[in-house]
Amino acid sequence: MASKPVEQLDSVVIRFAGDSGDGMQLTGGRFTSETALIGNDLATYPDFPAEIRAPAGSLPGVSGFQLHFADHDILTPGDQPNVLVAMNPAALKTNLNDLPPSGILVVDKDAFTDRNLTKAGYGGNPIEDGTLESYEVHAIPLTSMTIEALKDIEGITKREAERAKNMFALGLMSWLYGRPTEGTIAFLESKFARRPEIAAANVKAFQTGYAFGETTEAFAVQYEVKPATMKPGLYRNITGNQALAYGLIAASVKSGLPLFLGAYPITPASSVLEELARHKNFGVRTFQAEDEIAAVGAALGASFGGSLGVSTSSGPGIVLKQETIGLGITLELPLVIVDVQRAGPSTGMPTKPEQADLLGVMFGRNSESPVPVIAAATPSDCFDAALEAARIAVKYRTPVFLLSDAYLANGSEPWLLPDVDAIPPIEPGFAEANGEDFQPYRRDEQTLARPWAIPGTPGLEHRIGGLEKQDVTGNVSYDPDNHDLMVRLRAQKVAGIAQDIPELEVDDPDGAEMLVLSWGGTYGSVAAAVRRVRGAGKKVAHAHLRYLNPFPRNTGEILRAYDKVLVPEINLGQLQKLVRAEFLVDATGFNLVRGIPFRAGEVADAIGAMVDS
């Protein structure tokens, strides 16, 4: 068969959208794996409803998966798709606005029944009534073609045949972008190993979709995206929550401290609990508690006993943990608390990202209760951020907050695997009886950390508690000056960590007058925005904070070096408030709180406008 002309593209954003039951996450995941193997750089963003199975065909039931892949290094899953695959009218309705004019639209024509159209709130059929005029529409009878292709496969029901339509769509897209097929075939065979007929059906649907692309006249060209030049090494694709779990395991291995996770299920943090529960062979103890208070309490109890105590949650659960974190602060025990932020307040939008817990984790406890705060920047950075949170917690005997968000948690990117032997060890430095009198609050002169004397150590029996403690002895004390001293010591200890973390780096190739200061999960969109602004010939500097408390020691110096400072955040200006208060700089905010990641384009517009102002 004569092959079609191949057109080169430097990057593509594809979005699969369908009903929660249509298998869009699986489809997206497979396309991602195929893409990774080609060597494109990529970034993904799954976007799914909180409801497990909202009514079939309904708008709230739409589940989407967006993938950006390119022949160069990219930073985000893309602002807008170039290609939208919509498996039903509801998916079309909720996603069409994002597709730019002349974008490629693939729809399953069979799903556009009167019933489904009504459920999606369409008066007429958009395929026929001109609604889609400005797009390159491919209305394909995906369902009936799938059923037809599978008619000779024995032992499957019509419904099972129909359900393979996502693989037809995947096959078609795999052809369109020249993805390899072997991996998906092997994957389907192993996934459905116990039902070979289902495996066969899915493989057949996938291959039929691929062949359809080759033969149909509807698609005149095939596209190619060449591999990206990336740093050499061994790569895998990884989501933020998986990386975070691995980072915690690595911290346990590197410190020799057994990992104890206390958690109560909550979106979007649950998959860290689930991932860690699979790794008991590392001595990992996962405790699914009765609530978030018990979860963090158990983690703190385990820390007291010499484990690396960790508690993972999201906003509503973090709020419940705060009293115990306050106890951890005064007990001065290591503890890592992970907040995978989601849109709030209250239950908010559980599956959607936000950055609005920053002030809560900084200040949401009674009294003066400082906690170091670290925020991961990208999905794979969750690994390093988790390791770093554990290092600081252990070294300084303090609870540490690690911030992630729903976007980092579920989003994925290729990860150049670290050399695990090169990761420095974390020294627990447990106290041991040495003949001198033991004082539980006698501090290390340099770090101000107190000794960590764990039960089972002969001669170091001592009591600690939430009542204020006398300096050095740790005995209960109501002395006014002692309290003032202890408040200051706890604050100084945390502030001193600034000497132990890297300086803030500025990306400023052109000597700009304006700085963009970002933090956490918006790294990708902001960095991409900065590139665009520079591409348009304007000068702008960018610095990204991973450490929010304490700030890197040169932060003030950097902020003061620029005439204008813009702080883009998915909240109403929380970092902006902190830097204004701390450094007296007139930082401006760029804030959109929609429960979706920033689009690089809108950040670029804001930066561009400010550069010009």
Q: Which of residues 132-191 bind other proteins (CB under 8 A)?
A: 183
Q: Which of 424, 458, 480, 511 binds other proteins (CB under 8 A)?
A: 458
Structure tokens at 9: 């593209």
The first and second tokens of residue 285, run together, are 């103890």
299 near other proteins, judged by CB under 8 A: yes
In whole angstroms, how close is the CB of 168 to other proteins at the nearest point? 23
List helix spans (H) across 259-349: 270-277, 292-304, 315-331
Of 209, 190, 208, 192, give the one whose Cα is nearest residue 152: 208
Q: Would you list the DSSP string of 3-62?
A: PPPEEE-SEEEEEEEEEGGG-HHHHHHHHHHHHHHHT-EEEEEEE--SSSSPSTT-GGGE
Identify the residue whose tokens are 């400010």: 610
Q: Of the candidates 138, 279, 483, 539, which one interacts with other proteins according to CB under 8 A?
A: 279
Q: Counting every residue, how long is the chain?
A: 613
* Run of H or E residues at 83: strand 83-86
285 binds other proteins (CB under 8 A): yes
Binding other proteins by CB under 8 A: which of 9, 37, 50, 489?
37
HSE-CB at 148 with a 13 A cutoff on CA atoms is 9
CB of 272 to other proteins, least distance (A): 15
Q: Binding to other proteins by residue 359, rule CB under 8 A?
A: no
As a whole number of angstroms, the distance between CA 278 and CA 282 comes to 10
Sole binder of other proteins in the list 90, 140, 167, 293 (CB under 8 A) = 293
Of residues 5, 101, 232, 480, which one binds other proteins by CB under 8 A?
Answer: 232
Q: Which of 168, 175, 287, 562 binds other proteins (CB under 8 A)?
A: 287
Strands (E), 302-416: 308-313, 335-341, 373-375, 399-405, 412-416
Strand order in the sheet with 373-375: 285-288, 259-263, 308-313, 335-341, 399-405, 373-375, 547-549
Query: Which of 9, 132, 211, 230 is in the footprint of other proteins by CB under 8 A?
Result: 230
Of these, 4, 11, 33, 195, which contacts other proteins (CB under 8 A)? Answer: 33
Tokens representing 418? 């670290």
Q: What is the pattern of x (binds other proteins, CB under 8 A) and - over residues 251-270? A: --x----x-x-x--------
Chain positions 320 to 339 lying near other proteins, rule: CB under 8 A, are 323-324, 326-327, 331
Compare residues 132 and 253 and give the one whose CB is closer to other proteins: 253
Stretch that binds other proteins, among 106-114, 214-222, 450-458, 598-606 (CB under 8 A): 450-458
**d(C-alpha 400, C-alpha 310), whole Å:** 10
Q: How far is the CB of 20 from other proteins (least distance, A)?
A: 25
Q: Which is nearer to other proteins, 299 or 318 (CB)?
A: 299
290 or 563, CB closer to other proteins? 290
Whole-angstrom CA distances from 533 to 423, 511, 562, 611 are: 36, 14, 17, 9
Q: Per CB under 8 A, which region of 212-220, 299-307, 394-402, 562-570 contacts other proteins?
A: 299-307
What single DSSP character describes residue 255?
Answer: H
Provide, rounded to whole angstroms, the least separation between the CB of residue 46 and other proteins. 17
Q: What's the min distance (Å) between Cβ of 602 and other proteins?
A: 32
The yes or no reply on residue 475 touching other proteins (CB under 8 A) is: yes
Sequence-distant (6+) residues with CB within 8 A of 266 are: 292, 313, 314, 316, 317, 350
The token pair at 52 is: 């497990």
Q: For residue 178, which of 141, 219, 217 has the smallest C-alpha distance? A: 219
> In the bound complex, what is the minimum distance in angstroms from residue 183's beta carbon to other proteins?
7
User: Taking the complex as a whole, how short is the minimal distance between the CB of residue 303 and other proteins, in angstroms?
Assistant: 8
193 touches other proteins (CB under 8 A): no
Are the beta carbons of 473 and 439 closer than 8 angstroms? Answer: yes
Q: Does 309 bind other proteins (CB under 8 A)?
A: yes
Compute the least distance from the CB of residue 199 to other proteins, in Å.
Answer: 19
Short-list 191, 196, 226, CA closest to 29: 191
265 vs 418, beta carbon nearer other proteins: 418
Which one among 476, 536, 584, 609 touches other proteins, defined by CB under 8 A?
476
Integer Cα distance of 415 and 141 in angstroms:
38
Residue from 300, 377, 390, 402 that binds other proteins (CB under 8 A)?
Answer: 300
| 9/464 with CB nearer other proteins | 464
**Cα atoms found within 13 Å of the Cα of residue 261, Cβ hemisphere only:** 31
Cα–Cα distance list, 367 to 145, 244, 329, 394 (Å): 66, 30, 11, 23
Between 217 and 419, CB nearer to other proteins: 419
The 3-state secondary structure of 120-139, one letter per residue? CCCCCCCCCCCCCCCCEEEE
CB 448 within 8 A of CB 495: no
# binding residues, other proteins (CB under 8 A): 72
Give whichever of 32 and 341 is closer to other proteins, judged by the CB atom.
32
Smallest distance, other proteins to C-beta of residue 579, A: 33
Q: Taking CB under 8 A as the rule, does residue 418 contact other proteins?
A: yes
Query: What's the CA gap between 453 and 440, in Å, rounded?
Result: 8
- State the nearest-atom distance from the C-beta of 325 to other proteins, in Å: 10
Options 16-24, 289-297, 352-360, 584-592: segment touching other proteins (CB under 8 A): 289-297
59, 460, 489, 495: residue in contact with other proteins (rule CB under 8 A): 460
Choose, by CB under 8 A, the member of 180, 425, 466, 502 that binds other proteins.
466
Candidates 135, 282, 430, 583; binder of other proteins (CB under 8 A) is 282
Residue 442 interacting with other proteins (CB under 8 A): no
Six token digits for residue 225: 């995206």
| 249 binds other proteins, rule: CB under 8 A | yes
Give the residue with the Cβ less far from other proteins, 190 or 446: 190
Q: DSSP states of 507-555 as a string?
A: E-TT--SEEEEEEGGGHHHHHHHHHHHHHTT---EEEEESEEESPPTTH
**Residue 237 found at the interface with other proteins (CB under 8 A):** yes
Distance in Å, CB of 387 to other proteins, minimum: 11
